[in-house]
Structure 1
Amino acid sequence: MNKQSTFLFFTVLLAISSLRGLAQSDFKANPAPAPYSVGLQLGTTGAGIQLARVLTPDSRLIGRVGVSYFAYNRPFRVKAGEGKLHITPDLVMGIALASVKWHPFKTNPFFLTGGAGYTWRPDVKANLVAEGKVKFGGLEISEENVGVINANLRWRNALGYAGLGYGRSTPVRRLGFAVELGCYYLGAPTVDLQYTGFLETTTIDEQIPVIQNNLKNYRFLPSLQFLVTYGLFRRK
Structure 2
Amino acid sequence: MKKLLIACFALLMGIATASAQEYYERGVFNHLGLNVSASTEGIGVSVAAPITDYLELSAGVNFMPGVKIKGDVNVDYNLGVLPAQVTIPNHDKVKITGNLKRTTMDVKLNIYPFGGNSTFFVAGGFSFGGEKLGKLTGHSDAIQSAITTFPTFKDVILNSISAELDKYNVKFDENGDINGDIRVKNFRPYVGLGVGRLVPKHRVGFRFEAGCQFMGKLKVYQDNKEVKINELNDSDDDLSKIIDKWTVYPVLKLTITGRIF
TM-score tier by shorter-chain length is 0.5 to 0.7
Which of the two has higher C-alpha Rg?
2
1:162 counterpart residue number: 191
CA shift in 2, pair 1:171/1:150, >3 Å: same
Question: In 2, distance between residues paired with 1:74 and 1:228?
Answer: 27
Are 1:53 and 2:76 counterparts? no
Q: Which runs of 5+ in 1 are unaligned?
A: 1-27, 139-146, 195-203
Tell me if structure 2 keeps the 8 A contact 1:45–1:93: no
1:127 aligns with 2:137: yes
Q: CA RMSD in A?
A: 3.6
**Cα deviations by residue, 1:116-171 (Å, 9 ceiling, x for unpaired):** 1211443421024579xx99599xxxxxxxx6432221112111111111111111
Residues 1:148 and 1:162: Cα distance change in structure 2 (over 3 Å): same
Alignment of 1:16-27 (within 5 A): none
- Contact 1:39 / 1:51 at 8 angstroms: preserved in 2? yes
After the TM superposition, which residues 70-109 of structure 1 pair with which residues of structure 2 at under 5 Å, given as runs?
A: 70-77=64-71, 84=93, 86-106=95-115, 107-109=117-119
- Aligned sequence identity (%): 23
User: Tell me, what secondary structure is at the counterpart of 1:216?
Assistant: helix
Q: 1:171 to 1:105 in 2, by over 3 A?
A: same
Which residues in structure 2 correspond to 1:1-236 (within 5 Å)? 29-32=22-25, 35-56=31-52, 59-77=53-71, 84=93, 86-106=95-115, 107-128=117-138, 148-194=177-223, 207=231, 214=241, 215-233=243-261
Query: Matches of 1:79 and 1:206 in 2, distance apart?
Result: 20
TM-score, with structure 2 as normaliser? 0.60
Q: Which amino acid aligns with 2:231?
A: Q
Structure 2: tracts of 5 or more residues without a match: 1-20, 76-90, 142-161, 168-175
Contact 1:92–1:121 (Cα < 8 Å) also in 2:
no
**For the structure 1 residues 83 and 108, does the alpha-carbon distance in structure 2 shift closer, same or farther, using more than 3 Å as the test?**
farther
- C-alpha separation in 2, matches of 1:176 and 1:120: 29
Q: Secondary structure at the match of 1:94?
A: strand
Deviation at residue 74 of structure 1 after TM alignment: 2.2
Does the aligned pair in 1 maintain the 2:229–2:240 contact within 8 Å? no
**C-alpha distance in structure 1 between counterparts of 2:67 and 2:122, whole Å:** 34
> SS of the counterpart of 2:253?
strand
Give me the whole-angstrom Cα distance separating, in 1, the residues matched to 2:73 and 2:246.
27
Structure 1 counterpart of 2:121, one-letter code: F
Per the alignment, residue 8 of structure 1 pairs with none
